Chains A and B, each alone.
Chain A
Amino acid sequence: MTAPRPVIFEAHGVSKNFAGLVAVNNLSVRLHEGAVLGLIGPNGSGKTTFFNVVNGVYKTSGGRVVHRGADITDWPSHRIAGHGITRTFQNSRVLLNASSLENVMVGGHLHARAGLAGVLFSTPGARSREAKVKARALEHLAFVGLTDYADELARNMPYGAIKRLEIARALQTEPDILMLDEPAAGLNPRESENLMKLVSELHRAGKTIFIIEHNMRVVMGLCQRIVVIDAGAKIAEGEPDQIRRDPRVREAYLGKGA
Chain B
Amino acid sequence: MADFLFFLQQITNGLALGAVYALLAIGFSMIYGILRMMNFAHGDLYAFATIFIAALLIDEISVILAIPLGIVVGTVVGIVIERVCYRPLRFVDRTIAIVSSLGAAFILRNGSEYFWGVHALRFPLLLGQQQVPIAGVNFPVTAFYVIAAALASLALFGLFMRRSKIGSGILFVAQDIPTSSLMGIPINRTIVLVYAIGGALSVVGGVLYGSIYGVVFPAMGFPGTIKAFVAAVVGGIGNLGGALIAGLLLGVIETVVVVYGAQFFGMPTGYRDAAAFILLVVFLLFKPTGLMGTRVSMTEVGAIASMGYSAVAKKTVRLLGLVAVPRAALAPAAVAVAVLLPLVLTDQYYLRIISIVFMYSIAVLGMNLVLGYCGQFHFGQAGFMAIGAYTTALLLLHTETNFVVALLISGGLALVAGLLIGIPALRVRSDYLGLVTFAFGEIVRLIIVNSEFTRGPMGLPGIPLPELFGVKIVTPVDFYYYALVLLVLAYAMCAQVTRSYIGRAWRAIYEDETAAEAMGINTGRYKILAFGLACFLGGIAGAYWATQLRIVTPTMFELDLSVMVIIMLVLGGMGNLPGSIIGAAIMIGATELLRPIADVRSAFIGLVMILVPIFRPQGLFVDLGPTLARGWARIRGSRPTGADGGGR
Contact = CB atoms under 8 A, between A and B. Distances in A.
Interface of A: 18-19, 21, 55-58, 76-79, 81-82, 86-87, 89, 91, 93-99, 101-102, 105-110, 112-114, 116, 119-120, 122, 126-127, 129-131, 133-134, 150-151, 153, 155, 169-170, 172-173
Interface in B290-322: 299-301, 308, 311, 315, 318, 320, 322
A99 B323 contact: yes
Given A78-B523, A119-B496, A151-B641, A106 B505 contact: yes
Nearest to B311: A93
Given A19-B300, A58-B300, A120-B493, A109 B512 contact: no
B469 interface: no
Nearest to A175: B520
21 contacts: A56-B517, A77-B514, A77-B517, A77-B518, A78-B521, A78-B523, A91-B308, A95-B515, A96-B511, A97-B322, A98-B643, A99-B642, A102-B504, A106-B505, A112-B500, A114-B501, A119-B496, A119-B500, A120-B497, A151-B639, A170-B519
A134 B642 contact: yes
Contacts of B518: 55, 57, 77-78, 81, 86-87, 89, 170
A89 B507 CA distance: 18
B643 A109 contact: no
Ranked nearest first, the 5 interchain pairs of A and B with the lowest CB-CB distance are A77-B517, A112-B501, A81-B520, A99-B643, A93-B515
B497 A109 contact: no
B493 to A, nearest CB: 6
Contacts of B493: 120
Contact of B512 (A19, A55, A95): A95
B60 to A, nearest CB: 59
Contact of B318 (A55, A96, A102, A150): A96
B24 to A, nearest CB: 32
A114 B500 CA distance: 9
B497 A151 contact: no
A150 B639 CA distance: 12
Interface string B626-642: 00000000000001111
Interface residues of B, number: 40
Contacts of A82: 520
A220 B231 CA distance: 56
Contacts of A93: 311, 512, 514-515
A97 B497 CA distance: 18
Contact of A133 (B301, B501, B519, B521): B501
Given A18-B299, A95-B511, A151-B643, A116 B501 contact: no
B273 interface: no
B558 interface: no
B223 interface: no
A135 B455 CA distance: 59
B519 A173 contact: yes
A114 B497 CA distance: 11
Given A78-B522, A97-B318, A173-B520, A151 B311 contact: no
A131 to B, nearest CB: 7
A71 B529 CA distance: 29
B515 A94 contact: yes
Contacts of A169: 519
A79 B521 CA distance: 8
B508 interface: yes
Contact of B497 (A119, A131, A172): A119
A101 B640 CA distance: 13
A97 B301 contact: no
Contact of A119 (B322, B502, B515): B502
Interface in B318-355: 318, 320, 322-323
Contacts of A134: 642, 647
Given A108-B501, A116-B502, 5 more contacts: A78-B520, A86-B518, A105-B501, A106-B505, A113-B501
B69 interface: no
A117 to B, nearest CB: 11
Interface string B108-147: 0000000000000000000000000000000000000000
A127 B520 CA distance: 20
Contact of A130 (B322, B501, B519, B521): B501
Contact of A18 (B300, B311, B320, B517): B300
Question: Most B CB atoms within 10 A — which of A99, A102, A134, A150?
Answer: A102
A116 B508 contact: no
A96 B315 contact: yes
B497 A101 contact: no
B642 A110 contact: no
B623 interface: no
Nearest to B320: A97
Contacts of B521: 78, 106, 109
A106 B516 contact: yes
Contacts of A91: 308, 311
A134 to B, nearest CB: 7
A114 B505 CA distance: 13
Contacts of A127: 647
A98 B499 CA distance: 12
Given A102-B643, A126-B500, A81 B519 contact: yes
B642 A101 contact: yes
Contacts of B641: 151
B501 A19 contact: no
A93 B516 CA distance: 9
A55 B517 CA distance: 9
A155 B323 CA distance: 12
Contacts of B322: 95, 97-98
Contacts of A77: 514, 517-518
Nearest to A17: B300
Interface in B509-538: 511-512, 514-523, 529
A19 B500 CA distance: 41
B496 A120 contact: yes
B526 to A, nearest CB: 9
Contacts of A55: 518
Contacts of B511: 95-98
